[in-house]
Amino acid sequence: MKKYIVGFLLVLLSMNLSAQDWVKEKNKDGITIYTKHDPKYAMKASRAEMYVAAPVDKVLNAIFDVKEYVNWMPDCTYSKVLKSISSDEFIYHAIYSTPWPAASRDLVLHIKKVAFKDGYKIIMTNKSNFIEVRKDAVRVPIYFGEWVLTKTDKGTKVFIEYQTDPGGSVPDWMIQGAAIRTPFDMMESLKHRLN
């Protein structure tokens, strides 16, 4: 019995330590950004949270409307659904411009919506081999994460957490800066889109 209690306490301790790995990097205009370092990846993981005065379904529709990404998603120059699996699930392709000296990046993602009592979870999984690699952009080799949209009395709590690796050659200062800048700009643009 003591072995089980000690094991249980060790599990709780490790969960608590992993929860402490997130570092608050920015808190501005109601958007909070956290990062976490994992030595397996070149880029820190990102987490962003905000509240918006919009119904949860309106937020969901904005995230699911891939063809409109070029109008609000930061640095997105092209976006297209490649395969529609159902109304809740599809694979899409997007291209993002990147400041010099890095080349543009392209990303192929599978996203799936899962409803829960007070909102939706949108699970994102990389599908980098789904289409042929382009000559004019570097394919993002690693990307996974999730959006969580939760109904509140005043609108929606919007949460995104993801891990990525941009692939190719990118200066370290640019990679680490993007772990903060990209989720902040994305949330800020989404907020403007919903107003």
What average pLDDT is seen over the chain? Answer: 88
Q: Say what the pLDDT of residue 78 is.
A: 95
Q: Among 116, 117, 110, which residue's Cα sits nearest to residue 86?
A: 110
Q: Say what the pLDDT of residue 13 is.
A: 39
Q: Say what the pLDDT of residue 177 is.
A: 81
Q: Among 156, 159, 160, 158, which residue's Cα sits nearest to residue 143?
A: 160
Give yes or no for residue 10 having a pLDDT over 90: no
Residue 9, φ and ψ in degrees, nearest 5: -65, -35
Q: Say what the pLDDT of residue 70 is.
A: 95
Give yes or no for residue 9 having a pLDDT over 50: no
Give the whole-angstrom CA distance, residue 16 versus residue 145.
20
70-101 residue pLDDT tens: 999 999 999 999 999 999 999 999 999 887 77
Give the whole-angstrom CA distance, residue 65 versus residue 57.
12
Domains defined for the chain, CATH in brackets: 22-194 (3.30.530.20)
Give the whole-angstrom CA distance, residue 120 versus residue 31.
20
114-131 residue pLDDT tens: 999 999 999 999 999 999
| Cβ-based neighbour number of residue 76 at 10 Å | 19
| Cβ-based neighbour number of residue 52 at 10 Å | 23
What is the DSSP pairing of strand 105-116 with strand 138-139? parallel
Residue 130: exposure state from Cβ atoms within 10 A (0-12, 13-18, ≥19): middle
Q: Say what the pLDDT of residue 80 is.
A: 96
16-49 residue pLDDT tens: 444 459 999 999 999 999 999 999 988 899 999 9
Which sign, positive or negative, has the C-alpha torsion 129, 131, 136, 137? Answer: negative
Q: Say what the pLDDT of residue 47 is.
A: 98
Q: Say what the pLDDT of residue 15 is.
A: 45
Q: Given pLDDT bands bounded at 50, 70 and 90, which one contains residue 150?
A: very high
